[in-house]
Chains A and B, each alone.
Chain A
């Protein structure tokens, strides 16, 4: 993008266009002939990874928007219908939701890389500031996107974040009303967030073009932080950088696919599978993981306005980085002190993220304050001071000199990383079984867990029977249609069996020509009818507590895994908190209330229910439901069967997800391998 190109296409048609619009020359000079430093390491592939993720988010987002309904009463349902009924809707949704996390993960690596190698220093200040603007836009986009499914965390996240603006003196309240379009977060808020969530990614794309433009004017920084001086210091972008980026992207895709296909809900919050309810605040509101460090900073300051200012300054301070750190040596490779402080800063950020997810009490508040001070001290004290007192090691004269001098170091760092990952994995295997807390639901062996898990058809059919004869008296199953019973990956009924099952139900329909509502036998396309006409009726009939709909219950319930389990869970693909909890609650009723626990009138003691006082009486007893296949008619068996059934209702396409996941993994591993060897061949003469 720098200056006119002397590129001349050989094809006459292209020549004709080139004379009128030199677009091929622009592409050629930017992405083919463009000289890229030959000593770039793999941290530099994250630029390509980020461009890829932006494209992926826009593509999946545009298709999702074709099926989504931005209306407060329908938004939650429309997202569920995307997952259940749209062709590969579950895949699109997982790609988009996980994609947001991956996008942020990549951007954090990209930013830390810039920080470590001093990529913000002269002459790249504008490039860096454009990056900070992209990051801010990403945060706004991510936040508004999280609101769209209109679950409990969406709604309350939106309430908490929009309320941040009410801290502004004098005009705060009016700004908040303007954001809401009403007197509280509601339908107008959802509508405008949808509009902005669709708009902002294209604004990001625009700023990315400026970012790349600025990059190609100033040239890329590199691990040694010395500018390329001669032809020997650079290689042409294509094929060298393109193939290396392709390899980087395909490795990143492996991580991305791990989440999409095997743990799509690992990064989300169970509460967001509960539809938004303005009358109930979730006990523990947490933003998505990528905002946690800033949330921790916000909460660690006891004054509201000061907290909000601190949170925004934590991001905006990055804009001033080029002037806060005035050291002449760019790369921390040659700055012994800066290197150490950099790693301390990374640890501070990670710890702040951990604290952001913890309840704001006791030691967590104090730790949050200490770390907030550390965060700001890094920018305001450490970096300015270091640039004055530190004596850097001598930098190499040129890039080619440093390339010739190095070698073997990369292998060592790869070995260290592999050993660390292996140790973590071994730790996982050894400790996975040791998780026996007192009130924590005991782990079960589920047929559907793990990368090759499938549903046990017998358990699904028995579970359906338990639901129909017991649970259905109080609990709805409103997202499940009778036709689903005959679909692949389900209980394995035939279409005729599903139709017969449906016809046993009376479904309210109408109005008919006389203007009256009437009842008719159910059809396969009908949904399971709810036992109560509305929530209020359900509440009155059940002592004030409305029985929740069970369609999503195994995804909407969870329990705190805590450190370090959530790290192990990543490797073991443990995703069964919900089923474990549901099965435990069904079996957790005890006649004898332990000492020190008081159960109010009309409630029952349950060992695993949070707070122990549950409004639901013991629903299952031995022999209550008859089984035709000779399975034991015990509470334990009932609980297991009905939980398996409810896992299927929560995710009817789980088997398809895991099956496709395997195919994608085989493909990606082969592709990445191919890219690796191609890259080796291309770079053979350049190292």
Chain B
């Protein structure tokens, strides 16, 4: 009952061009049937994410560990709430990040859980920068 060959093949890596995404904007792409948020973060959002003491977080993880070095403005996360799998809404909630309408979990501008029932941060999918304006997810 595990995924069949065609499902696995359709889950191959995809490339995404980042150049059309302006600062402060984000896009949602689908990979393996999952929505992936790619946010072009503002300076303010990055600073907010880095100002928080890591130890105070429910799922401690530094912002640096969640983005690629040298590409600090780009946040790439799987847009699936770690509670029960709903899709959080970007640019909502009290932490300049994501808000899940189902059970009220709130994530910050680094996609880290700050408030609500979700146990973990939004997952970062495997990805790498192919060039400065292009990433490969998967």
Contact = CB atoms under 8 A, between A and B. Distances in A.
Given A182-B33, A279-B28, A303-B119, A188 B4 contact: yes
Interface in A263-281: 278-281
Given A163-B85, A182-B33, A278-B35, A283 B3 contact: no
Given A184-B33, A299-B103, A302-B117, A159 B3 contact: no
A59 interface: no
A299 B86 contact: no
B87 interface: yes
A450 interface: no
Interface in A173-189: 177-186, 188
B77 to A, nearest CB: 15
B117 A183 contact: no
A192 interface: yes
A304 B86 CA distance: 14
Contact of B119 (A183, A184, A284, A304): A304
A160 interface: yes
Given A159-B86, A285-B86, A304-B118, A188 B3 contact: yes
A523 B35 CA distance: 41
Given A178-B2, A182-B3, A184-B33, A160 B117 contact: no
Given A163-B84, A299-B117, A183 B33 contact: yes
A307 interface: yes
Interface string A163-203: 11010000000000111111111101000100000000000
Given A182-B7, A281-B101, A160 B1 contact: no
Contact of B35 (A185, A279, A359): A279
A162 B1 CA distance: 15
Contacts of B30: 278-279
Contacts of B24: none
B117 A285 contact: no
B126 interface: no
Contacts of B83: 163, 304
A123 interface: no
A101 to B, nearest CB: 23
A177 B8 CA distance: 12
A283 B101 contact: yes
Interface in B79-138: 83-87, 100-104, 117-119
Contacts of A285: 86, 102
Nearest to B88: A281
A14 to B, nearest CB: 47
Nearest to B34: A184
Size category, B interface: 20 to 34
A279 B88 CA distance: 10
B11 interface: yes
B44 interface: no
B35 A181 contact: no
Nearest to A188: B7
B32 interface: yes
A360 interface: yes
A361 interface: yes
A183 B32 CA distance: 6
Given A156-B86, A159-B85, A164-B84, A181 B3 contact: yes
A160 B86 contact: yes
A160 B101 CA distance: 13
A181 B2 contact: yes
B3 A281 contact: no
A311 to B, nearest CB: 12
A279 B1 contact: no
B73 to A, nearest CB: 24
A156 B104 CA distance: 16
Interface in B13-48: 28, 30, 32-35
Interface of A: 156, 159-160, 162-164, 166, 177-186, 188, 192, 278-281, 283-285, 299, 302-305, 307, 359-361
7 contacts: A159-B86, A163-B85, A177-B3, A183-B11, A304-B84, A304-B118, A307-B117
What 5 A-B pairs have minimum CB-CB distances, sorted nearest first? Answer: A184-B33, A183-B32, A163-B85, A160-B84, A281-B86
Given A279-B28, A304-B119, 14 more contacts: A160-B84, A160-B102, A162-B85, A166-B85, A182-B7, A183-B11, A183-B33, A183-B34, A186-B33, A281-B102, A283-B101, A303-B119, A304-B83, A360-B103
